[in-house]
Amino acid sequence: MIRRIAKVFFLLGLFALSAGISAWQTLTFIIKSEDTVIIPDLVGKEMLYAAELLTDMGLNTEVEGYEYSPGIPKNHVISQEPEPGAEIKKGRDVRIIVSKGVSTVRMPNLKGISIRQTHIILEEKGLCIGTESVANSETVKKDDVISQSLRPGANAEQGECVNLVVSAGARPKSYIMPDLKGMLLDEALTMIEEMNLEPGEIKSVFHIGAPRNIIAGQEPRAGYPVAERRSVTLVVNRMPGSRRNLHGNKGDRLFRHRVENGFSERHVRVQIKTTGFSQDIFDDFADPGEEIWLLVPKNDQVEILVYEDDKLVSIE
């Protein structure tokens, strides 16, 4: 009987102890929950709204600074400390960085500036180069900027792209292609140069009975419109064995060399030489009696040296 009474009192005491511990833990949790809060995510929120939200939670707002931000609007929160989700006691500070908006620069006047220098200027200002269109201009020289998509003096956001129109120079003049057939090659080259055209490939053909060393064909054909600096291909009637095609440049003249007669081909080398510079413009084997035609610079300071089998045979 006594043992049973003792057991009952023991169980009642154990129950009272458990209830006391549980009540203490519950009270502690309630008191602790009243002293701490969970930090909300403030990034992207308007600064005044974020401050009001923190005040309602019993926290203080501390603005640590202002920074430019391309992705966060002006007067909105860029970052915060502590981070969202952290547990903090009431009365503590939450530090935030506020956006000053997008950084802007004053757009420079690029008209008349070379495209190379323009790239440097835009890069230094943190601006992007957009599309580059090309157009002829009578007033803006080639490779200089004609116009820009953002007007000079305007505020441009850093990273913003600027479209440019670049000059291709003055529009080429147009001519009616003259008939060069029947002319000597020297005469045809002179006319091409006077019309501000470019000598292109010079081909050789041979027609028996037709006058030799004259123009037998041309492209573009006579009577067709041609633009300034257009390349003109010429076909010259020459003897067999002289069918070496040429490629000319503006300001070239015709140079001729006839290989001496004999019984075997010869190694011919033609060299042009000027002050501090020399270059072989022909280095090949030629048949006896073959005539070699070359286009050389029309310059009094240029010497032309001809070697046959490594022996100097001509200087002009």
pLDDT at res. 243: 45
6 in any annotated domain: no
Q: Does residue 147 register a pLDDT over 60?
A: yes
Residue 299 CA: distances (Å) to CA of 51, 82, 253, 272: 82, 80, 9, 11
181 in any annotated domain: yes
| Domain span holding position 82 | 21-99
Per-residue model confidence as pLDDT tens digits over 5-28: 555 555 555 555 665 566 555 545
Place of tokens 């029947």: 182
Q: Does residue 131 register a pLDDT over 80?
A: yes
Per-residue model confidence as pLDDT tens digits over 241-274: 554 556 666 667 778 888 888 888 889 898 888 8
pLDDT at res. 62: 92
> What integer is the mean pLDDT of 94-114?
91
Distance CA 24, CA 213 (A): 120
Number of domains in the chain: 3
- List the CATH number of the domain containing 209: 3.30.10.20
49 in any annotated domain: yes
The verdict on 196 and 300 lying in the same domain is yes
> What integer is the mean pLDDT of 51-67?
92
pLDDT at res. 308: 87
5 in any annotated domain: no
Local confidence band at 89 (pLDDT 50, 70, 90 cut-offs): very high
pLDDT at res. 145: 96
pLDDT at res. 31: 46
The rounded mean pLDDT for the chain is: 84
Is pTM, for the whole model, over 0.75?
no
Beta bridge mates, 315: 305
Distance CA 34, CA 82 (A): 19
DSSP codes of every residue in 39-66: PP--TTSBHHHHHHHHHHTT-EEEEEEE
- Burial class, 221, CB count within 10 angstroms (exposed 0-12 / middle 13-18 / buried 19+): exposed
7 in any annotated domain: no
The verdict on 92 and 110 lying in the same domain is no
Least reliable range by pLDDT among 108-112, 127-131, 150-154, 253-257: 253-257
142 in any annotated domain: yes
The verdict on 310 and 180 lying in the same domain is yes
The verdict on 67 and 91 lying in the same domain is yes
The verdict on 196 and 81 lying in the same domain is no
**Those residues with Cβ within 8 angstroms of residue 287's Cβ, 6 or more apart along the chain or in another chain:** 241, 259, 265
The verdict on 236 and 151 lying in the same domain is no
The verdict on 196 and 161 lying in the same domain is no
> What integer is the mean pLDDT of 29-42?
73
pLDDT at res. 94: 93
The listed range with the strongest mean pLDDT (215-224, 238-247, 274-283) is 215-224
pLDDT at res. 15: 55
Q: Measured on CA atoms in the order 273, 274, 277, 279, is the torsion positive or negative?
A: negative
Distance CA 280, CA 3 (A): 128
DSSP codes of every residue in 79-141: EEESPTT-EEETT-EEEEEEE----EEEPP--TTSBHHHHHHHHHHTTPEEEEEEEE--SSS-
The verdict on 179 and 281 lying in the same domain is yes
Distance CA 276, CA 132 (A): 41
